């Protein structure tokens, strides 16, 4: 009956099936005079080698004064054993000694402990004359002595289990008399297993003082079916305590927090502009579609987090130099409002999140306050940002025509035999303060928070503000030129265009609405303003521009030739803004309906309102470009609505097992609606389409996407073993009407083997857990991908406007979601008294039915239909993740903590459907080929070169380029590692931390090498290696020479902090006061020949290439934190 | 009391939520997803009105391909053909980024085939790609529209289908004349299934075009406009196939005065309509971009004709500005600077020119000269003086092609004619196309006489392996 209890969960909300109820009496009258230590709890220490069982029994009896009674006819008393225990409860020691002898303990009616044969005890227990007893006691925090409510107390191997009430008391009544093993556990505390004696007809008291569990395995994780200890899950789920990190390390957004702390994560950064987004990829790239983004859950509410959708660019993207990506919605969440972040990296962990979750799930829990006095916290910070390192130099050969007197100075190409070299200039405008547009930026930020509460209500309110001014600036000489030509000084946004300003507020409130139910309400409101201009788009041009200072001519490289410009800058007149206002509201209901039944419901919404602008004011650009002005406005909104309901029932099973089953349903609806409209010939001083001389065609986009799923998760557990299974059935509005609803199963096993009595390496391993998990999850197709759609519009034809229809998409009614299957196995262990912690996970994830945009060649329908989406691929990612924590020194004076993580991922397209041949992705730089990584880089190889004419110069005609493409490398790194050191000195008064990050195996396409080839060393220095010359000479034929497999080691962050003494803090009326100096991106060691291999040009999709984007800046900041 | 009420409320809420949730099925809630309001309902195409709009869609695509496009996209057939030949020149680099480079590559006849779109894009060699896309899309949409008309068309469905065949025939003729041998003619059917094809030779494409014109003539015998268009198109294709007699026969019934025009709204109408800006953009003089992006040529590259300096009213030009580099920009008077007006796609003049060339080939010099002079007397006012027989075979060919160049000036015929001079009259490209030094320091004209399909064709169509030949 117990096993089937979950089955009636859905219909018996107010059921009365609880077989074992916790008594809810008024406990204040209950007490006991038995305050001494129970005999079986008295501690013994033994170190006996090769002694008889009876000798060991006598030793225990003597030390604990048990006054045992037994006869010498008991079996195996003369068996030889060895035992070594230190300060172990006598009951436990006896259990250890008697293991395998057939002897068990029995408690007489008078409370005496006797040793009897096992079969005799069974007879005794089964006897109808046996008088049952009562076991009761109190569960408290070992440090604070506060009562712990909700602790689970169970008798191992029996059906008897209960939970402690609000005062910490528990009762098990009636229970069989005798010796029993009682296990008490509670999330966040170390479980206690104790042998106790239950005397029939009596109230036997056993109190439990639980120690706060510091082990990583005891950390509580928010799963799809509610909180669980990490220990119980078969997956490696990364938990980040943001609150503590933010106090000591430089973090500005969630990406910063995740980047070096989640093994298996690759961050694809778009540029170093403030607020510029990054894409997160867990365990490689799985889908050929643009969307490899994880989903984001905040306090149980799904929020909009697309990083690769088309609308992740600025809504006014005109497809030109002013087309910037918009800030990531993930980074718009204030990190100061976050308590923890949990990362589920693959489908084996994310199965129950359904058909969107195969790319991983990021679960954020915000602060809700803790019971206690009101606490105010605040911090202020100020910092400066600079450009790290120098840009690579360009070369310019000066010479004169053969036969002339040298007065005609001109560019003297290396291959030009008619030109006599006079000198070689080395230059780089971006390293020249007079011309460079890269200067110094700054950042300021502040937060204020208050939290507190009591047993009935806890709360947290916080707010933050930050403002980042980017590096890009208009150089003084250009400001002067502008004043001369336009007649006024350039506006501030033109001088310092990069600005990212953000403010946010967050409130979290948890109320107890009944003794068994609470409600949590979360609400946050934030606004982000980003400003850019086309000035930063000049960086690639400046990288390859030579200024002849004598003649003031400006020569810009354009591949194999250069052109003469009229000035340094092409355009810095267009201002691009993005404003996002985010409102998230959620409510969570938790109800402990019965001791064995909990019901939960989450409901919420997340709304983002976007207001973007792309403005070229009238009369700010010099003549020759558009002086009449232009404006494009984008208005967009996203709305995510989310309801999740679930129930969890618990029932005991025979042999100490327990069954916990969760059943739930989840509904998520995401709607986006965008509208852009533009105007030209605008009035002076306006930034609106109103009054514009001409209005351009508005562009409208609206997408509704819905998923609904059921899930069930039965878990069988023992003290050391957890076996969890699960199933989710999903429907999605994007599935083709001929596709079956996907069913996603999972199973996970977690085994705390170190707690086994027979485990032989207890001295070495504090804990050792083995785990394994298998699961499936999906990724939905695009919203309209299944549909064959048409464009209908009014078009001028012959003499007037006519409605026309053209094919827009081919559609595919067979589309179904991608299905990812993942196996993950590994272990977690704490060694040497927790000084060393190791976590290891190996995984093998295969994505079936991978959605691939199969290119449709233009001979079918021009560029109006360029692809059709098909479920054609099988893509595999496998690898491992290793985390190592080491505490070499742990003392009051100094604590030294080392954290290392290493992950390796191997990506491969296993197969494509029959008839699907290798193809390029739409960006044309990457290729999908079975047997090779998804979107690997390919190029026609340089198979040889020879200086045929013996002039010491390799020309394109002297380079042999292969006809067939060869694989060059992956667009994702295959090895990532981070290495962190933390020092805490003088009882935490001084703290120092630093973090390094390594990436290896990424193959980058350095497009700047081609764009700037005319000024390259190879084309200007006759001493340049021939191989280098060949690579450049062949650039018109192949990208071979532009591709480079890159390894990078980045000194990611450094922080040194000082906590002032209490007396000093009190001077400022604070309870605590600290100051820290923090730096990020402090050094980069790489073999990359370009500037920075970890930025790319694309705001969406999987395309990665270095097109001269602004690299990540270096920053130094001072942070002062105070608690009141 | 408080607790009892709370519990009751919680129980009721939970029961309601759970009950509602589990009573639903995932498929119930999501299988009937609504189309976004901005997405046209596909079912609306399967109506007579939908079929008609698909027909208009085909005409619109071809309208774009022939001479349309918005600012900065002067890659129509008229512009592209004019650039690679001696009708138009590209302005120097200095305009909006990416605009001038591709025109210079076309103008300078340096048009290599690229193995990847990335290389192609980096090289700025995208000038002809939009034309290729528009012409191929015209083919695909014609097929689509014919399918809809067949199922949902009204009484004049045959005429509409015939018109579509004629338009598709013209599109394929242009693909043959302007692109290399080996353009693939892939197909997409009415249900959205597509079939990839390998490259077809120039001859094969022209032969296919003739078949399309024949279909048009069969389906729309009562439509004078369609019949005349198909006749001129067929004559043009047969001329390319070296079938002069067949060409003359095809156009014999085209009456004097016939014109099939592609019309374009002026920039005022196009930009305020809120709809597609299909202006005759190669002709627009736009202040935003500092003037006309192209320059009407005169004696370009040693071999170019004296379009301006001859003073011929058919090719007169007006200076409309100066480039950043001091070069005078000339605009063809034939077209309005607003981009509005008509461009001749096929007319009786072309029909008579085909007949003249066929007569010359047949050795009937009287008919040849008579046809040429008939045009000079009748097709323009005031009439042009008669021309005379220059006396030698080569000179007669030169005269024929000069007359074609002047009558068909900037109508996307010139490139095909120059290729025919090489292919069918044995001239070398060095004496036909613009040649010699290109813009002084920029080097020399290249040797290309046609455009390769875009690199995307190579990487996305496994049956296509590149041009079969880059010669004329």
Provide the residue count of chain A.
1124
Strand, helix or coil for residue B326 = coil
Rounded Cα distance, B412 and B418, in Å: 11
- In chain A, what residues touch B457 (CB-CB under 8 Å)? 857-859
Residues 6 or more apart in contact with residue A182 via CB below 8 angstroms: A135, A153, A154, A155, A156, A193, A194, A195, A196, A206
pLDDT of residue B289: 42
Rounded Cα distance, A470 and A655, in Å: 64
B388 min Cα distance to partner chain A (Å): 39
- In chain A, what residues touch B42 (CB-CB under 8 Å)? 787-790
Name which residue leads in pLDDT, A611 or A232: A611
pLDDT of residue A850: 84
Summarize the confidence of residues A983-1004 as an average pLDDT.
90
pLDDT of residue A583: 96
Residues 6 or more apart in contact with residue A914 via CB below 8 angstroms: none
pLDDT of residue B26: 57
Q: By the 8 A CB rule, do A460 and A450 touch? A: yes
Summarize the confidence of residues B294-299 as an average pLDDT.
90
- In chain A, what residues touch B13 (CB-CB under 8 Å)? 589, 601
Asked if the Cβ–Cβ distance from A855 to B93 is below 8 Å, we say no
Summarize the confidence of residues B297-310 as an average pLDDT.
95
B343 min Cα distance to partner chain A (Å): 11
Q: Which residue of A has its CA nearest to B114?
A: A1037
Compare CB distances from B93 to A563, A856, A858 and report the shortest one's residue.
A563
Residues 6 or more apart in contact with residue B271 via CB below 8 angstroms: A694, A696, B277
Q: Which residue of A has its CA nearest to B62?
A: A797
Compare CB distances from B42 to A706, A788, A1010 and report the shortest one's residue.
A788
- CA dihedral for B10, B13, B17, B18, sign (positive or negative): positive
- CA dihedral for B274, B276, B278, B281, sign (positive or negative): positive
A998 min Cα distance to partner chain B (Å): 29
CB pairs under 8 A between A and B: 302
Q: Which of A805, A812, A940 is the best mutation test for B, with the most CBs of B within 10 A?
A: A805
Q: Which of B33, B132, B167, B451 is the best mutation test for A, with the most CBs of A within 10 A?
A: B33
Residue A739 Cα distances to A669, A777, A1114, B325, B343, angstroms: 20, 16, 50, 62, 50
**What's chain A's average pLDDT?**
83
Packed helices B157-178 and B77-84: angle between N→C axes, nearest 10 degrees: 20
Maximum average pLDDT range among A580-584, A816-820, A889-893: A580-584
A974 min Cα distance to partner chain B (Å): 25
Summarize the confidence of residues B347-357 as an average pLDDT.
98
Q: By the 8 A CB rule, do A735 and A780 touch? A: yes
Compare CB distances from A514 to B7, B194, B442 and report the shortest one's residue.
B7
When pLDDT is cut at 50, 70 and 90, the band that residue B285 belongs to is low
Look at residue A321 and tell me whether its pLDDT is greater than 90.
no
Strand, helix or coil for residue B341 = strand
Strands A133-141, A203-205: pairing kind: parallel
User: pLDDT tens for residues A525-540?
Assistant: 999 999 999 999 889 8
B406 min Cα distance to partner chain A (Å): 25
Asked if the Cβ–Cβ distance from B3 to A694 is below 8 Å, we say no
- In chain B, what residues touch A558 (CB-CB under 8 Å)? 93, 101
Of A634-638, B257-261, B262-266, give the lowest mean pLDDT range: B262-266
- What is the token pair recorded at A858? 């233009």
When pLDDT is cut at 50, 70 and 90, the band that residue A621 belongs to is confident
Name which residue leads in pLDDT, A37 or A873: A873
DSSP B314: G
pLDDT of residue A212: 67
Q: Which residue of B has its CA nearest to A854?
A: B460
Asked if the Cβ–Cβ distance from B122 to A698 is below 8 Å, we say no
- What is the token pair recorded at A500? 């990212």
Asked if the Cβ–Cβ distance from A862 to B197 is below 8 Å, we say no
B188 min Cα distance to partner chain A (Å): 6
- In chain A, what residues touch B53 (CB-CB under 8 Å)? 792, 802-805
Asked if the Cβ–Cβ distance from B144 to A807 is below 8 Å, we say yes
Q: By the 8 A CB rule, do A485 and A470 touch? A: no
Asked if the Cβ–Cβ distance from B453 to A701 is below 8 Å, we say no
Look at residue A1101 and tell me whether its pLDDT is greater than 60.
no
- In chain B, what residues touch A665 (CB-CB under 8 Å)? 18, 21-22, 24
A316 min Cα distance to partner chain B (Å): 17
Asked if the Cβ–Cβ distance from A811 to B192 is below 8 Å, we say yes
Name which residue leads in pLDDT, B290 or A492: A492
pLDDT of residue A843: 96
- What is the token pair recorded at A391? 């840009």
Rounded Cα distance, B178 and A882, in Å: 60
Rounded Cα distance, A863 and A869, in Å: 16
- In chain B, what residues touch A804 (CB-CB under 8 Å)? 53-54, 56-57, 59-60
- In chain A, what residues touch B265 (CB-CB under 8 Å)? 796
- In chain B, what residues touch A734 (CB-CB under 8 Å)? 33
Q: By the 8 A CB rule, do A764 and A831 touch? A: yes
- In chain B, what residues touch A511 (CB-CB under 8 Å)? none
Count the alpha carbons within 13 Å of B66 in the hemisphere toward its beta carbon: 25
Q: Identify each DSSP E strand in A481-629 by its residue range.
A: 499-514, 517-533, 545-548, 553-558, 561-565, 575-594, 597-616
A190 min Cα distance to partner chain B (Å): 33
Name which residue leads in pLDDT, A960 or B99: A960
Asked if the Cβ–Cβ distance from A628 to B288 is below 8 Å, we say yes
Asked if the Cβ–Cβ distance from B137 to A863 is below 8 Å, we say yes
User: pLDDT tens for residues B57-78?
Assistant: 999 999 989 987 654 445 789 9
Phi/psi at A201 (nearest 5 deg)? 75, 5
Asked if the Cβ–Cβ distance from A919 to B54 is below 8 Å, we say no
Q: Which residue of B has its CA nearest to A813?
A: B192
Q: Which residue of B has its CA nearest to A731?
A: B26
pLDDT of residue A211: 76
- In chain A, what residues touch B136 (CB-CB under 8 Å)? 858-862
Rounded Cα distance, B316 and A382, in Å: 68
- What is the token pair recorded at A245? 């990190």
Q: Which residue of A has its CA nearest to B200?
A: A859
Q: By the 8 A CB rule, do A282 and A357 touch? A: no
When pLDDT is cut at 50, 70 and 90, the band that residue A29 belongs to is very low
Residues 6 or more apart in contact with residue A214 via CB below 8 angstroms: A834
Asked if the Cβ–Cβ distance from B14 to A697 is below 8 Å, we say no
- In chain A, what residues touch B129 (CB-CB under 8 Å)? 858, 863
Residue A871 Cα distances to A36, A287, A600, A816, B363, angstroms: 70, 11, 36, 7, 63
When pLDDT is cut at 50, 70 and 90, the band that residue A709 belongs to is confident
Give the whole-number percent of chain A exceeding pLDDT 90.
29
Name which residue leads in pLDDT, A460 or A125: A460
Q: Which residue of B has its CA nearest to A698?
A: B274
Compare CB distances from A514 to B3, B61, B287 and report the shortest one's residue.
B3
| Kind and range of the H or E run holding B132 | helix B129-152
pLDDT of residue A317: 83
When pLDDT is cut at 50, 70 and 90, the band that residue A214 belongs to is low
Look at residue B269 and tell me whether its pLDDT is greater than 70.
no
Rounded Cα distance, A500 and A1115, in Å: 15
Compare CB distances from A857 to B25, B31, B457 and report the shortest one's residue.
B457
Summarize the confidence of residues A937-947 as an average pLDDT.
89
A574 min Cα distance to partner chain B (Å): 14
When pLDDT is cut at 50, 70 and 90, the band that residue A25 belongs to is very low
pLDDT of residue A1100: 44
Asked if the Cβ–Cβ distance from A810 to B37 is below 8 Å, we say no
User: pLDDT tens for residues B138-157?
Assistant: 999 999 999 999 998 777 88
- What is the token pair recorded at A1079? 């730096």
What spatial distance separates the first Cα and last Cα of chain A, rounded to whole Å? 55
Asked if the Cβ–Cβ distance from A792 to B53 is below 8 Å, we say yes
Using alpha carbons, select from B318, B159, B308, B144 the residue that is nearest to residue B229: B159
Compare CB distances from B63 to A791, A797, A1037 and report the shortest one's residue.
A797
Asked if the Cβ–Cβ distance from A862 to B140 is below 8 Å, we say yes
Summarize the confidence of residues B161-184 as an average pLDDT.
97
Look at residue B316 and tell me whether its pLDDT is greater than 80.
yes
């Amino acid at each position: 009956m117990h096993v089937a209890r979950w089955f009636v969960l859905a219909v018996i909300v107010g059921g009365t099936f609880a077989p074992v109820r916790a008594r809810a009496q008024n406990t204040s009258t209950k007490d006991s005079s038995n305050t001494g230590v129970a005999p079986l709890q008295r501690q013994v220490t033994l170190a006996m080698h090769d002694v008889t069982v009876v000798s060991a029994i006598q030793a225990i009896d003597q030390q604990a004064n048990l006054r045992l009674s037994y006869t010498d006819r008991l079996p195996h008393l003369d068996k030889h054993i060895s035992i070594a225990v230190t300060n172990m409860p006598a009951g436990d020691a006896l259990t250890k000694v008697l293991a395998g002898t057939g002897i068990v303990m029995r408690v007489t009616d008078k409370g005496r402990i006797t040793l009897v044969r096992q079969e005799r005890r069974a007879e005794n227990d089964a006897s109808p004359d046996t008088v049952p007893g009562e076991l009761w006691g109190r569960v408290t925090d070992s440090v604070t002595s506060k009562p712990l409510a909700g602790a689970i107390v169970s008798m191992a191997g029996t059906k008897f289990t209960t939970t402690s009430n609000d005062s910490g008391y528990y009762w098990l009544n009636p229970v069989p008399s005798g010796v029993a093993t009682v296990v008490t556990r509670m999330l966040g505390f170390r479980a206690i297993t104790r042998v106790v004696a239950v005397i029939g007809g009596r109230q036997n008291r056993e109190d439990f003082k639980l120690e706060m569990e510091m082990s990583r395995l005891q950390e509580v994780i928010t799963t799809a079916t509610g909180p669980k200890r990490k220990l119980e899950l078969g997956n490696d789920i990364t938990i980040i305590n943001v609150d503590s990190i933010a106090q000591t390390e430089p973090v500005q957004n969630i990406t910063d927090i995740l980047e070096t702390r989640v093994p298996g994560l690759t961050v694809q950064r778009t540029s170093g502009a403030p607020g510029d987004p990054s894409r997160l990829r867990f365990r490689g790239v799985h889908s050929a579609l643009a969307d490899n983004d994880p989903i984001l859950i905040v306090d149980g509410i799904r929020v909009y987090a697309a990083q690769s959708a088309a609308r992740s660019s600025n809504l006014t993207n005109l497809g030109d130099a002013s087309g910037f990506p918009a800030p990531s919605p993930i980074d718009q969440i204030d990190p100061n409002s976050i308590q923890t972040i949990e990362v589920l990296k693959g489908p084996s962990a994310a199965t129950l999140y359904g058909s969107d979750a195969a790319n991983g799930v990021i679960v954020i829990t915000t602060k809700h306050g803790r019971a206690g006095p009101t606490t105010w916290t605040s911090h202020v910070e100020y910092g400066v940002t600079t450009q790290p390192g120098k840009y690579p130099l360009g070369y310019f050969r000066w010479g004169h025509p053969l036969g002339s007197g040298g007065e005609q100075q001109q560019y003297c190409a290396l291959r030009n035999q008619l030109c006599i070299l006079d000198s070689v200039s080395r230059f780089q405008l971006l390293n020249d303060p007079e011309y460079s547009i890269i200067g110094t930026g700054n950042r300021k930020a502040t937060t204020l928070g208050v939290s507190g509460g009591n047993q009935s209500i806890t709360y947290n309110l916080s707010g933050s503000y930050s403002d980042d001014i980017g590096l890009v600036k208009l150089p003084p000489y250009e400001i002067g030129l502008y004043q001369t030509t336009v007649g006024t000084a350039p506006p501030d946004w033109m001088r310092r265009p990069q600005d990212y300003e953000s403010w946010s507020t967050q409130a979290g409130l948890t109320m107890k609405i009944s003794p068994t139910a609470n409600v949590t309400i979360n609400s946050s409101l934030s606004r982000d303003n980003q400003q850019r201009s086309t000035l930063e788009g000049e960086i690639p041009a400046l990288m390859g521009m030579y200024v002849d200072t004598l003649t003031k001519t400006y020569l810009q490289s354009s591949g194999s030739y250069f052109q003469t410009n009229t000035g340094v800058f092409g355009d810095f007149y267009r201002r691009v803004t993005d404003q996002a206002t985010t409102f998230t509201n959620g409510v969570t209901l938790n109800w402990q309906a019965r001791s064995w039944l909990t019901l939960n419901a989450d409901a919420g919404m997340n709304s983002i309102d976007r207001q973007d602008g792309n403005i070229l004011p009238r009369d700010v650009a010099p003549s020759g470009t558009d002086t009449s002005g232009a404006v494009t406005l984008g208005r967009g909104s996203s709305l995510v609505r989310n309801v999740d309901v679930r129930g969890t029932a618990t029932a005991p099973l025979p042999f100490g097992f327990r069954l916990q089953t969760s059943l739930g349903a989840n509904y998520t609806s995401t709607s986006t609606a965008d509208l852009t409209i533009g105007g030209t010939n605008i009035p002076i001083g306006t930034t609106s389409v109103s009054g514009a001389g001409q209005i351009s065609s508005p562009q409208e986009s609206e997408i509704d996407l819905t998923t609904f799923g059921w899930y069930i998760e039965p878990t069988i557990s023992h003290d050391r073993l957890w076996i969890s299974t699960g199933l989710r059935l999903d429907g999605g509005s994007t599935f083709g009407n001929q596709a079956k609803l996907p069913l996603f199963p999972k199973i996970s096993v977690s085994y705390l083997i170190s707690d086994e009595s027979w485990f032989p390496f207890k001295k070495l391993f504090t804990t050792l857990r083995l785990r394994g998990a298998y699961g499936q999850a999906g990724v939905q197709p695009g919203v309209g991908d299944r549909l064959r759609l048409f464009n209908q519009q009014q078009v001028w034809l012959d003499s007037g406007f006519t409605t026309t229809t053209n094919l827009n998409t081919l559609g595919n009614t067979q589309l179904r979601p991608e299905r990812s299957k993942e196996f993950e196995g590994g272990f977690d262990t704490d060694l040497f008294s927790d000084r060393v912690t190791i976590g290891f996970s190996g995984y093998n994830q295969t994505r079936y039915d991978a959605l691939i945009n199969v290119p449709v060649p233009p001979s079918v329908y021009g560029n109006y239909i360029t692809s059709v989406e098909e479920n054609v691929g099988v893509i595999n990612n496998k690898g491992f993740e290793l985390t190592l924590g080491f505490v070499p020194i742990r003392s009051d004076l100094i604590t030294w903590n080392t954290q290392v993580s290493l992950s390796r991922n191997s990506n491969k397209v296993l197969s494509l459907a029959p008839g699907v041949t290798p193809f390029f992705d739409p960006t044309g730089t990457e290729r999908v080929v079975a047997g090779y990584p998804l979107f690997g880089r390919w190029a026609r190889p340089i198979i040889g070169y020879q200086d045929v004419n013996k002039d010491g110069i390799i020309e394109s005609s002297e380079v042999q380029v292969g006809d067939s493409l060869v694989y060059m490398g992956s667009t994702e790194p295959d090895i990532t590692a981070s290495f962190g050191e933390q020092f805490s000195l003088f009882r935490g008064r001084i703290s120092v931390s630093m973090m390094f990050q390594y990436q290896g195996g990424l193959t980058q396409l350095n497009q700047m090498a081609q764009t700037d080839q005319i000024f390259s060393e190879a084309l200007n220095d006759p001493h340049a290696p021939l191989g280098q010359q060949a690579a450049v000479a062949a650039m018109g034929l192949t990208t071979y020479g532009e591709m480079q497999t890159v390894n990078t080691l980045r000194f990611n962050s450094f922080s040194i902090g000082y906590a002032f003494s209490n007396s000093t803090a009190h001077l400022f009326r604070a309870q605590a006061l600290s100051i820290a100096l923090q730096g990020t991106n402090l050094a980069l060691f790489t073999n990359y020949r370009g500037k920075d291999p970890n930025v790319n040009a694309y705001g969406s999709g999987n395309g990665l290439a270095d097109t001269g984007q602004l690299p990540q800046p270096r920053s130094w900041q001072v942070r002062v934190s105070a608690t009141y | 009391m408080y607790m009892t009420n709370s519990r009751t409320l919680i129980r009721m809420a939970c029961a309601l939520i759970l009950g509602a949730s589990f009573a639903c099925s995932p498929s119930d809630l999501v299988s009937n997803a609504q189309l976004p309001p901005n997405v046209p309902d596909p079912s609306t195409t399967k109506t007579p009105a939908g079929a008609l709009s698909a027909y208009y869609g085909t005409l619109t695509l071809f309208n774009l391909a022939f001479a349309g496009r918005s600012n900065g996209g002067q890659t129509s057939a008229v512009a592209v053909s004019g650039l690679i030949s001696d009708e138009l020149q590209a302005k120097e680099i200095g305009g909006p980024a990416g605009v001038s480079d591709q025109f210079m590559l076309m103008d300078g006849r340096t048009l290599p085939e690229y193995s990847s779109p990335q290389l192609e894009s980096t090289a700025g060699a995208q000038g002809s790609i939009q034309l290729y896309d528009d012409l191929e899309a015209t083919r695909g949409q014609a097929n689509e529209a014919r399918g809809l008309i067949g199922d949902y068309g009204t009484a004049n469905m045959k005429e509409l289908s015939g018109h579509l065949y004629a338009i598709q025939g013209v599109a394929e003729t242009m693909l043959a004349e302007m692109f290399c041998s080996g353009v693939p003619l892939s197909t997409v059917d009415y249900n959205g299934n597509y079939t990839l094809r390998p490259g077809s030779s120039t001859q094969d494409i022209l032969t296919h075009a003739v078949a399309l014109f024949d279909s048009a003539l069969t389906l729309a015998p009562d439509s004078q406009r369609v019949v005349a268009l198909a006749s001129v198109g067929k004559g043009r294709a047969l001329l390319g196939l070296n079938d002069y007699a067949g060409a003359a026969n095809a156009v014999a019934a085209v009456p004097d005065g016939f014109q099939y025009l592609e019309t374009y709204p002026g920039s005022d109408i196009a930009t305020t309509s809120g709809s597609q800006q299909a202006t005759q953009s190669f002709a627009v003089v736009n202040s935003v971009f500092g003037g006309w992006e192209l320059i009407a040529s005169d004696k370009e590259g040693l071999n170019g004709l004296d379009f301006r300096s001859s003073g011929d009213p058919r090719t007169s030009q007006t200076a409309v500005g100066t480039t950043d580099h001091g070069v005078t920009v000339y605009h063809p008077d034939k077209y309005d600077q607003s981009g509005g007006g008509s461009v001749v796609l096929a007319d009786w003049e072309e029909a008579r020119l085909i007949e003249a060339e066929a007569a010359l080939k047949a050795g009937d010099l009287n008919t040849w000269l008579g046809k040429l002079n008939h045009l000079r007397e009748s097709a323009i006012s005031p009439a042009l003086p008669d021309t005379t027989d220059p006396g030698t075979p080569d000179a007669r060919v030169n005269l024929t092609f000069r007359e074609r160049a002047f009558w068909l000036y900037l109508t996307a015929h010139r490139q095909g004619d120059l290729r025919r001079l090489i292919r069918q009259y044995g001239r070398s490209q060095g004496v036909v196309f613009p040649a010699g030094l290109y813009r002084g320091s920029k080097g020399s004209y290249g040797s290309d006489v046609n455009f390769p399909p875009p690199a995307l064709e190579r990487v996305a169509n496994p049956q296509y392996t590149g041009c079969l030949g880059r010669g004329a």
